[in-house]
Amino acid sequence: MSTENIAAPRSPYLSHRKRNRFNIEKWGWIYMRVSGVLLVVLIFGHLFYNLIFPGKVSILDWAFVAGKLANPIWIVWDLLLLWLALIHGANGMRTLINDYAHGRFRTVLLRALGATTAVLLVMGTLVLTTFDPCLGDTDNAELIKICAAQ
Amino acid sequence: MGLGEVALVAAIGLHALNGLRIICIDMFSWGPKAQRVMFWVAIGLWIVLLIGFVPRHLMHVFGGE
């Protein structure tokens, strides 16, 4: 037997190395890096605006959020935040489940995770795209003026 | 809620900085060699972030303003 027939040490399991095939683990890995960099900007922008300036924890209420969602830029911002962060988090949870859960328990957890993620994405998108700040009561003078003008 | 925000900012801040460190380790040839230094850079930036955020935030939580 020649040495050519022996796989190199520590080479990956061959059935996982079919070339030219869509590799979901590779794209998941890339997604975590790309979304992570974008989320640094989106999340710290979100936290800074809500908690430092112009917002602060003591004035966060329905009117504050309604005022934000009157601006299309914040709707796009929050939609990006929702989709990127939720899929980023779900993919991280998927890694934990694959690491620690086995057999039937793993299947149940993965399905529950997928269902939860889908429901949250649909509900969040629905709120962000159909929200009307003028439907609720508010004592925010700026918002009252905007709604009266409609 | 205010104290929960402190925990949230602390957790997400460390997760973000450590994540950027892991990206540097993967992407750059100098990454693996510098990973230990970058760990302490991340911890340092995290402490700066918390010093900038926590006192002011807690004044808003407990000061009522």
From chain B, pick out residues whose CB is under 8 angstroms from the CB of A57.
1-2, 5, 57, 60-61
Q: Output the pTM of the full model.
A: 0.83
Long-range pairs for B24-29 at CB < 8 Å and ≥24 separation? B26/A33
Domains located in chain A, CATH noted = 3-149 (1.20.1300.10)
Q: Tell whether the model's pLDDT for residue A4 goes beyond 80.
A: no
Q: Report CB contact under 8 Å: B16, A39.
A: yes
DSSP secondary structure letters along B1-65: -HHHHHHHHHHHHHHHHHHHHHHHHHH-TTHHHHHHHHHHHHHHHHHHHHHHHHHHHHHHHHH--
Q: What is the pLDDT of residue A147?
A: 76
Chain A residues whose CB is inside 8 A of the B1 CB are 57
Radius of gyration from C-alpha coordinates of chain B: 15
Alpha carbon distance B10, B4 (integer Å): 10
- ipTM score: 0.91
Contact criterion met (CB < 8 Å) for B1 and A57:
yes
Distance CA A119, CA B7 (A): 26
Per the structure block, which two tokens stand in for A141? Answer: 């003078």
Is A43's CB within 8 Å of B2's CB? no
pLDDT of residue A22: 85
